[in-house]
């Protein structure tokens, strides 16, 4: 058997199942926990694509920083069980599922038509190291990364201003 295919199938099924559970579960804290599983399975997929640095980054940034923020806010809001409402509107859910089905079919058609020639995955573990990514980031992508720094700085100030108590009253 092809071990790459088996790995892909396990990780892909795990990613789809955890994403579905995130979207459909009743309580937000279960959504958050299964979203962590989703991030880990995506990190595994990145590893299967020989991008080890990005896989580690995925775990650190998403499963570390962003999920800590989400769970922290969930705990801070302290929603009681009575406030939990069921998924609203069966009709809206039906419309959503139909829309998604059409979207997936169109997407599969587009993918099957456009990329019919086989592309082989050769060994690229030496190409995607932290060193080569850093070299690219600070040579040919220097201006975008500075702009990203400004974006993150602005986001910090914006979050601080918005979460302040006095502004609300």
Partner 1 sequence: MKAIPIEYYLILAGVLFAIGILGVIIRRNAIVIFMAIEIMLNSVNLTFIAFSSYLGDISGQIFLFFVMAVAAAESAIGLAIILALFRKKQTIYVDEVNTLKH
Site for partner 1 in 35-54 (CB under 8 A): 35, 38-39, 42, 45-46, 49-51, 53-54
By C-beta, is 81 or 122 nearer to partner 1? 122
Cβ burial of 71 (10 Å; 0-12, 13-18, 19+) is: middle
**One symbol per residue from 116 to 145: x for binding partner 1 (CB under 8 A), - otherwise; what is it?**
--xxxxx-x--xx---xx--xx---x--xx
Torsion of CA 124, 129, 135, 137, to 10 degrees: 90
| CA 115 – CA 132 distance, rounded (Å) | 28
By C-beta, is 81 or 120 nearer to partner 1? 120
Regarding 107 and contact with partner 1 (CB under 8 A), the answer is yes
- DSSP structural state of residue 82: G
Regarding 98 and contact with partner 1 (CB under 8 A), the answer is no
Q: Alpha helix (H) ranges present in the chain?
A: 3-24, 28-48, 52-58, 67-77, 90-114, 130-137, 142-163, 165-168
Regarding 87 and contact with partner 1 (CB under 8 A), the answer is yes
Site for partner 1 in 16-35 (CB under 8 A): 16, 19-20, 22-23, 28, 31-32, 35
């Amino acid at each position: 058997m092809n071990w790459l295919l088996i790995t892909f199938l396990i990780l892909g099924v795990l990613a789809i199942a955890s994403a579905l559970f995130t979207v459909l579960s009743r309580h937000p804290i279960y959504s958050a926990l299964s979203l962590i599983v989703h991030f880990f399975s995506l990190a595994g997929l990145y590893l299967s694509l020989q991008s080890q640095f990005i896989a580690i980054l995925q775990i650190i940034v998403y499963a570390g920083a962003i999920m800590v923020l989400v769970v922290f806010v969930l705990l801070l809001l302290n929603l009681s069980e009575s406030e939990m409402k069921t998924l609203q509107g069966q009709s809206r859910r039906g419309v959503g599922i139909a829309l998604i089905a059409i979207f997936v079919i169109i997407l599969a058609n587009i993918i099957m038509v456009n990329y019919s020639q086989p592309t082989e995955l050769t060994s690229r573990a030496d190409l995607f190291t932290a060193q080569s990514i850093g070299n690219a980031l600070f040579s040919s992508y220097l201006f975008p990364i500075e702009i990203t720094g400004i974006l993150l700085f602005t986001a910090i100030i914006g979050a601080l201003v918005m979460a302040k108590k006095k502004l609300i009253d």
